[in-house]
Amino acid sequence: MEKFIALWQHRYRKYSEIFLTYLAFWKTVLRIKWIKFRTGKPTVGILMTEHLGDIVACEPISQTIRERHPDAQIFWIVKKAFRDLVAYNPRINHLIEEPNVLFSILLTEKKPFDTLYNLHLSNRVYFPLQKRLVNPIADQRDLTIHNYLNFGRLGEIFAAAAGLPLPDRSKAPSLYIPDEVRSKIDALNLPEKFAVFHTFSNQPVKDWQPQHWNQLTSQVLSEFGPVIEVGLKGQIQSNSPSFRDLCGQLSILETAEVIRRASFFVGVDSGPAHLANAVGTYGFLLIGKLVHFEDFNLYTGGYGDGSNARIIWKRKGPASELTFEEVWQPLQEYLMGRRMTEFMAKRIV
C-alpha cells in the first residue's frame, strides 16, 4: 500500500508540474502578444537562464542583439535566482522567469517571439518527460558540452550557439548595480581597503584545499589587511577581527558591489570571478585542468588578456592540486608592488 501511495504521489507531483508549466507558458504567450499589440514593435527573446557566470559573460550579446533590433521589445528568459543580473540591463525591456526546462522547450517549439536567440547548448533535459532543449545551430556546429571550451571565451561560445557575431574579447562584460544595492553595502561599514576571497565553486575539482585558504587568509591579514569571504557558503576559519564572513548573507548584486569595492579579488573559477571581471576589480584566479580540458580561457577584457588579473594555472591537474606556494608567490609579489607604489605616492605628496 505504501508503494502504491508513493507511486501516485509521484505521478500527481509530476503531472501537476507539467500542467502548471503549460499554464505559465500560455500566460507568457499572451503577455508577449499583448506587448507586441500595445507597442506595435517586434518581439525578441534571449534564452539564457543559468548559470551566474554564463549570464554575466553574455551581457555583450545583449548589446549585439539590441544593435540588430533597435526598435524591438527584448525579453530575457532567466531563472528567478539570476534575474537581478539582467533586470537592470538598459537593453532589456522585459524579463521572463523560467520555472523549469520544459518551459524553455515550449518557447523554442511554439515560437511566440518574432525572433528567439537560444544561447544554450543542447544539453538541458526535462527529465520527467525525457525531453531535451535542442539548439539546432549549436548542433550544426558540433558545439557540445564535451568540446565547448575549445570554441573560445565563454561569451564567444554562447554567441556561436545563437548564430551571432562573436563579442569583442578585449572588452569585459558590464554589470548594472542599482543605487539601492550600493546603499545596502554602505550600511555594512566595510573597511577602506580589503581583499575579497571566494572559495567554493559548483565543481569540487575547481576548489582549493581549505587549509591553504586558511593559510592564505592569515598571510594576507598579516601583510595587507582585512579579508572578506563571499559566496553561498564559506570554508575559511579565522578568529581575526579583520576577517569577515559574508557568505550566504548577500544577493548576487550585493556580492558584486562588495567585490567592486575590494582592493583585489582571489577566487576559484566560478560565478563571482565573472562578477569581479565585470566590475573591474583586480583578480587572482585559481584554474586547473577541467575534465579533459587543459588549456582554456573563459574570460574577456582584463581577466582574459591578463591586464587586470593573474591566472594561477595548474596545467596538468585540477586547481584543487595547486600548492600554497604556487598561489602565494604571485600574490606576495603583487602586495610588495602595492606597498612600493603606496610608499612612492606618499613621498611625492
The closest of 223, 201, 203, 219 to 211, measured between CA atoms, is 219
The closest of 267, 283, 259 to 216, measured between CA atoms, is 267
Q: Are residues 156 and 195 in the same domain?
A: no
Q: Are residues 193 and 268 in the same domain?
A: yes
Q: pLDDT tens across 117-153, in order?
A: 999 999 999 999 999 999 999 999 999 999 999 999 9
Considering the domain boundaries, does residue 168 fall inside one? Answer: no
Considering the domain boundaries, does residue 171 fall inside one? Answer: no
Tracing cell 579579508 back to the chain, one arrives at 227
Domain span holding position 109 = 2-161
Number of domains in the chain: 2
Q: Are residues 249 and 139 in the same domain?
A: no
Considering the domain boundaries, does residue 259 fall inside one? Answer: yes
| Residue at a domain's end among 98, 130, 161 | 161
Considering the domain boundaries, does residue 177 fall inside one? Answer: no
Q: Are residues 141 and 26 in the same domain?
A: yes
Q: Are residues 214 and 329 in the same domain?
A: yes
Residues 231, 60: Cα–Cα separation, whole Å: 24
Does the model's pTM come out above 0.85?
yes
Q: pLDDT tens across 51-91, in order?
A: 999 999 999 999 999 999 999 999 999 999 999 999 999 99
| Residue at a domain's end among 161, 196, 224 | 161
Residues 85, 298: Cα–Cα separation, whole Å: 18
Q: pLDDT tens across 205-245, in order?
A: 899 999 999 999 999 999 999 999 999 999 999 999 999 99
Considering the domain boundaries, does residue 304 fall inside one? Answer: yes
Considering the domain boundaries, does residue 232 fall inside one? Answer: yes
| Residue at a domain's end among 93, 127, 161 | 161
Output the domain CATH number for residue 339.
Answer: 3.40.50.2000
pLDDT at 316 over 90: no
